[in-house]
C-alpha cells in the first residue's frame, strides 16, 4: 500500500486560533495556546503528544526535568519524529495505530459465510458484513449503530477528511465505547472465539460505566502543557502501578495479537495509559474495520491513568465520573484537597499533584482543566442518550496564593453556595406544593420537584460566570474580603433570579405563594467573609 498522509507533516490537529496543524508544527511553535475539538478529542490528543514527549526524552527526576525545559523537550521531540517518520503514515504498510491483519480475518470470515450461504440473500448479507463499517460523523469515539438516532447536524453521517479520520483513530484508542459494534462471529488475532454478539469492553479512559472525568494542568501554551505534564522515571516508580515503567510507544513495535508478549508488556507500562490501543482497526475507503483490541484492568484492580481523579480513602478505589448536572468547576476544592496536606480524604489526581508543584515554581498562573463525556450503559453497550453530554471546565490559579488558607476559604464559599442552592430547591418546591400543583409520591418526579431542580440548575449556571472571580479572591487580604462580599451579593441575586424565573406571581394565589416561600438570603449575606 502507498504510504500517504503523514501525521508529522500534514495538518490534522485542531489548535485554537490557528485551525489544523501538523505534529511538526505543534513542537515548533510556542505561540499555540490550546488544543481544539471536543473534550474527549482534547484529552486523546494531549495524551498522544505526551506519549511522543515521553518517548523522546523522559527525565530521570525533577532536577533533570527542570534542566530539560520546554525548548529542549520540543527539540528532542522533533528529532524523535524525524527518526520515526515512517511510522506516522495514516495509510500504508504500517498505518499509524492500526492493525492491517484485521482485514485478513474479516476477509476469511466473509469467504466462509459466502461459501456456506444457502440463499442469495444470505450471500449478500455476508458480503455486506465484510465491508468496512461507517465512521458516522466522527464526533464520538464510536461507530453509529444501525438504528442510530440523529439528534443534531453533528451526528449526520458524512465522508470524513483524512484529518478527521486521524483524530477518530487517536480517540478510539483510549475512549472507544464498550459494546457490540465491533466485529464478531470470528476468531481474534490471538485465537479467542468472538460470537456474533460479541461485546467489547470500553477503552480505559472511558471506563466501563458512565464515563471517567479527567483532569490536567494547563499553562496557556501547548508546548508548556506537554512539559509540565511529562512524568519522570522517579514519578512512575513512586506510583508503583506500571511494572514495565515508562515503556515504549505502541507505534514503535505493534503487537501481533491482543495476547502476545509485546501486548502484555505494553499493558503494564505507563505508555499504555497515554495511547491504549483498545481497538484493532484499519481505515479502508470511507469506512473502518473495527475489532476489539487490548483490554485493561479496571481502577478497582489498581490500574489507573495519571489524569483520573481517584478516592482511595475507603476499602475500594472510587473514580470521579462525568456529571453534566454538576460541572467540574464546582468540585475544584475537592480536586485540590491535597494542598492542605490532608492525604486521607478527598480525591487525588497524580497529574494535578505533580503539575501544581511544578506550576507554583515555574508559572505565575496556570489552570486546572477537567473534562470528559457522560454516556449511558445498557447491557454493556455504551451510547450517548438524553442528558448525556461532553463537559469541561477550566479554572486559572495564582501559584503564589495557593495554600491552606486559600483552599479553606474556597471550601467555605462553595459550601455556603451549596447550602444556598439547596434552600432555593426547597423554596421552589414549597411554592408549587402550596399551590397543590401535584401529589406525586417522589419529590423529584413531581412537577414541583422538576421545577425546583431546574431552578437549582439555572442558579449554578449563573454562578459559573463568576466562579473565576471567586477563585481569584480567596486569599486573606482586605481587598479580597471586599470582593467576596460583593460576590455574595451577586450570588444572592442569582437565587432571586432563579426563584422568580420558575415561580410566577401573576395571580393572587401565585403572589401569595411567591411571597410566603421567597428565599431569605440575609444569613448568607451577613456572614463574616
Q: Where are the domains of the chain?
A: 101-194, 403-526
Give Cα 246 distance to the centre of its chain.
22
In the chain, how many H helices and how many E strands? Answer: 17, 16
Over the stretch 44-77, which tens digit does the pLDDT of each residue have?
A: 999 999 999 999 999 999 999 999 999 999 999 9
Q: Are 376 and 382 in contact (CB under 8 A)?
A: yes
**H or E segment and range at residue 104:** helix 101-115
Residue 414: the pLDDT is 96
DSSP H or E segment with residue 408: helix 404-434
Give the dihedral of Cα atoms 382, 279, 309, 244; nearest 10 deg.
Answer: 150
User: Dihedral sign, CA of 103, 109, 115, 121?
Assistant: negative
As given in the structure block, the three cell numbers for residue 51 are: 506519549
DSSP structure class, residue 178: P
pLDDT of residue 340: 67
CATH of 403-526, one of 1.10.132.100, 2.40.160.10, 3.90.1200.10, 1.10.10.10: 1.10.132.100
The reported pLDDT for the residue numbered 386 is 86
- The reported pLDDT for the residue numbered 94 is 95
Per-residue pLDDT of the chain (529 residues; tens, 9 = 90+): 799 999 999 999 999 999 999 999 999 999 999 999 999 999 999 999 999 999 999 999 999 999 999 999 999 999 999 999 999 999 999 999 999 999 999 999 999 999 999 999 999 999 999 999 999 888 899 998 765 566 566 567 888 999 999 999 999 999 999 999 999 999 999 999 999 899 999 999 999 889 999 999 999 999 999 999 999 999 999 999 999 999 999 999 999 999 999 999 999 999 999 999 999 999 999 999 999 999 998 888 888 999 999 988 777 888 999 999 999 999 998 888 877 665 555 688 999 999 999 999 999 999 999 999 999 999 889 999 888 999 999 999 999 899 889 999 999 999 999 999 999 999 999 999 988 866 555 566 688 899 999 999 999 999 999 999 999 999 999 999 999 999 999 999 999 999 999 999 999 999 999 999 999 999 999 988 7
Amino acid at each position: 500500500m502507498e504510504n500517504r498522509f503523514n501525521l508529522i507533516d500534514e495538518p490534522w490537529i485542531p489548535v485554537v486560533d490557528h485551525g489544523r496543524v501538523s505534529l511538526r508544527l505543534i513542537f515548533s511553535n510556542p505561540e499555540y495556546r490550546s488544543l481544539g475539538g471536543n473534550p474527549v478529542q482534547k484529552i486523546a490528543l494531549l495524551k498522544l503528544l505526551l506519549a511522543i514527549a515521553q518517548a523522546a526524552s523522559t527525565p530521570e527526576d525533577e532536577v533533570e526535568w527542570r534542566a530539560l525545559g520546554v525548548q529542549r523537550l520540543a527539540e528532542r521531540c522533533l528529532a524523535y519524529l524525524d527518526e520515526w517518520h515512517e511510522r506516522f503514515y495514516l495509510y500504508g504498510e504500517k498505518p499509524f495505530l492500526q492493525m492491517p491483519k484485521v482485514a485478513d480475518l474479516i476477509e476469511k470470515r466473509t469467504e466462509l459465510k459466502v461459501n456456506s450461504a444457502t440463499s442469495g440473500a444470505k450471500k449478500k448479507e455476508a458480503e455486506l458484513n465484510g465491508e468496512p463499517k461507517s465512521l458516522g460523523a466522527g464526533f464520538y469515539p464510536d461507530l453509529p449503530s444501525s438504528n442510530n438516532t440523529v439528534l443534531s447536524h453533528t451526528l449526520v453521517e458524512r465522508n470524513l477528511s483524512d484529518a478527521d479520520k486521524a483524530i477518530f483513530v487517536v480517540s478510539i484508542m483510549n475512549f472507544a465505547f464498550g459494546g457490540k459494534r465491533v466485529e464478531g462471529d470470528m476468531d481474534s488475532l490471538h485465537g479467542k472465539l468472538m460470537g456474533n454478539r460479541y461485546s467489547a469492553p470500553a477503552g480505559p479512559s472511558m471506563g466501563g460505566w458512565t464515563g471517567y472525568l479527567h483532569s490536567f494542568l494547563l499553562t496557556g501554551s501547548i508546548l508548556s502543557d506537554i512539559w509540565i505534564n511529562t512524568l519522570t522515571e522517579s514519578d512512575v516508580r513512586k506510583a508503583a502501578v506500571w511494572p514495565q515503567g515508562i515503556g515504549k510507544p505502541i507505534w514503535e513495535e505493534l503487537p501481533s495479537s491482543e495476547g502476545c508478549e509485546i501486548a502484555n508488556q505494553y499493558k503494564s507500562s505507563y505508555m499504555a495509559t497515554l495511547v491504549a490501543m483498545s481497538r484493532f482497526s484499519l481505515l479502508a475507503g470511507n469506512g473502518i474495520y473495527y475489532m476489539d483490541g487490548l483490554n485493561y484492568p479496571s481502577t478497582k484492580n489498581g490500574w489507573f491513568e495519571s489524569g483520573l481523579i481517584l478516592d482511595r480513602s475507603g476499602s475500594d478505589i472510587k473514580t470521579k465520573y462525568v456529571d453534566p448536572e454538576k460541572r467540574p468547576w464546582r468540585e475544584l476544592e475537592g480536586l485540590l484537597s491535597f494542598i492542605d496536606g490532608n492525604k486521607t480524604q478527598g480525591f487525588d489526581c497524580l497529574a494535578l499533584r505533580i503539575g501544581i508543584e511544578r506550576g507554583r515554581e515555574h508559572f505565575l498562573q496556570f489552570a486546572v482543566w477537567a473534562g470528559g463525556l457522560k454516556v449511558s450503559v445498557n447491557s454493556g453497550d455504551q451510547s450517548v442518550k438524553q442528558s448525556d453530554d461532553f463537559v469541561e471546565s477550566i479554572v486559572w490559579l495564582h501559584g503564589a496564593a495557593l495554600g491552606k488558607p486559600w483552599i479553606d476559604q474556597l471550601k467555605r464559599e462553595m459550601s455556603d453556595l451549596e447550602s444556598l442552592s439547596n434552600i432555593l430547591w426547597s423554596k421552589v418546591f414549597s411554592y408549587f406544593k402550596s399551590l397543590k400543583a401535584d401529589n406525586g409520591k417522589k419529590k423529584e418526579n413531581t412537577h414541583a420537584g422538576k421545577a425546583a431542580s431546574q431552578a437549582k440548575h439555572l442558579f449554578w449556571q449563573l454562578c459559573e460566570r463568576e466562579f473565576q472571580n471567586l477563585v481569584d479572591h480567596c486569599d486573606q487580604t482586605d481587598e479580597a474580603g471586599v470582593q467576596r462580599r460583593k460576590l455574595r451579593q451577586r450570588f444572592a441575586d442569582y437565587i432571586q433570579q432563579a426563584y422568580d424565573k420558575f415561580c410566577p406571581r401573576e395571580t393572587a394565589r401565585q403572589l401569595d405563594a411567591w411571597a410566603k416561600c421567597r428565599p431569605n438570603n440575609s444569613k448568607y449575606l451577613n456572614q463574616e467573609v
